[in-house]
Chain A
Amino acid sequence: MQIILNGQTIETQQANLADLLVEQGYEALLVATAFNQHFVAKDQRADTVLIEGCKVEVVAPMQGG
């Protein structure tokens, strides 16, 4: 299925958010996530089922003012 990860359309066969993060190289990284504009806590990622066209945000610390 196709989903939108950080604004980019990608193809994935992963069923949930936790597996998607592993597939995309985020495993062991300090990141936070949102699914369709709703925050998803770390312990909820495995329960967050991906669906066609869903929007996933993966963020990390960045410089800011």
Chain B
Amino acid sequence: MNMKTTEANNQAAQAKNKAKNKTKTKEGSGKALEFYGQKLESRLLLGTAQYPSPQVLLEAIEQSKTQIITVSVRRESGSSQDGQQFWQLLKQSNCKILPNTAGCHSAKEAITTAMMARELFDTPWIKLEVIGNDDTLQPDVFGLVEAATELCQQGFKVFPYTTDDLVVGEKLLAAGCEVLMPWGAPIGSGRGLQNPKALESYRHYFPDTSLVIDAGIGLPSQAAQAMELGYDAVLLNTAVARAGNPVAMAQAFDQAINAGRSAYLSQPIEPRDMARPSTPVAGTPFWLS
């Protein structure tokens, strides 16, 4: 065996070990949920927009058992002072605040918005959104990585809303992100996980990173599916806020997310193509008669 072949074999062995390590998902994700050192019990992050009333919002937050709510920043009027009333409401929730940069279409806009949010909410946490298309609201991943790099350097704890692209995920981690939030489907679409195979690969590829499905969830069963894939948490808004009964739906999502998490940790069976009797065949009346 020449030296070139030996080197090639060593590289192949290293790649195999790396891949093996990256599939230790189940063991690695049995731990408690933690974002940037903050331990959490609830695996649901809930948005605060589109509720029929402030009271319904508060009740939905309570029934969801969420500990993190997402908020935004918008132009304030010196006369109507809408934002001040909303801030008083938020303080009653006792939840940790995750401000977003929703509506930003460039890294520059997102960075400036993040800095305003940090001062407003007194938190380094930021849900980073850089939108690339108004019809799909899909992330502009180039602007996202650019903004994440700058914000991480400035001490922000970035929660990037991204796609299921592995390379983009790697670049976000290299930028300093400790959480990745791939989309399930376009924001507000309620279509569930559009590409579960890609999201499954994403989970396996980033076994030690906190992963959150952000956007596109419409039903509790879809949230449960995300958790069964091994995702650490789910972030949603419209599915609860626009439901006929947001408070009951919030409770349903809490239950579904817990069920999905338990199922993931319980090591589900592998699917089969053919039937296998669950009732023992031996001893069946008339068997072999």
- The answer to whether A and B come from one shared complex is yes
A binding-site residues for B, Cβ under 8 Å = 6-7, 24-26, 29-34, 37-39, 41-42, 57-65
Most B CB within 10 A of own CB, among A25, A26, A42, A63: A63
B-side contacts of A34, CB under 8 Å: 112, 116
On whether A65 and B83 interact (CB within 8 A), knowing A26-B78, A29-B78, A38-B112, the answer reads: no
Interface code B138-164, partner A: CB below 8 Å = 1, 0 otherwise? 000000000000000000000000000
Q: Which of B1-9, B66-74, B248-256 contacts A (4 or more CB under 8 A)?
A: B66-74
Distance in angstroms from B17 CB to nearest chain A CB is 41
Check if B117 sits within 8 Å of A60, measured CB to CB: no
The contact of B47 among A24, A39, A57, A65, by CB within 8 Å, is A65
- Chain B residues with CB under 8 Å of chain A are 47-51, 57, 70-79, 81-84, 86-87, 90, 99-100, 102, 108-109, 112, 115-117, 119-121, 187-188, 236-238
Q: A60–B90 Cα gap in the complex (Å)? A: 13
A38 to B115, CA, bound (A): 9
A62 with B84, Cβ < 8 A, contacts A32-B117, A39-B112 known: no
A-B contact pairs, 18 of them (CB 8 A): A26-B78, A30-B84, A32-B120, A37-B108, A37-B109, A57-B75, A58-B76, A59-B73, A59-B120, A60-B82, A60-B86, A61-B86, A62-B74, A63-B71, A64-B48, A64-B100, A65-B48, A65-B237
In the assembled complex, the Cα of A39 lies from the Cα of B120 at a distance in Å of 12
Q: Which of B71, B112, B236 contacts A61 (CB 8 A)?
A: B71
- Among candidates A7, A25, A42, residue contacting B78 with C-beta atoms closer than 8 Å: A25
- With A31-B76, A60-B81 already in contact, 20 other A-B pairs whose C-beta atoms are closer than 8 Å: A25-B79, A26-B78, A30-B84, A32-B116, A34-B116, A41-B119, A58-B76, A59-B74, A59-B116, A59-B120, A61-B72, A61-B73, A61-B83, A62-B82, A63-B50, A63-B72, A64-B47, A65-B47, A65-B100, A65-B238
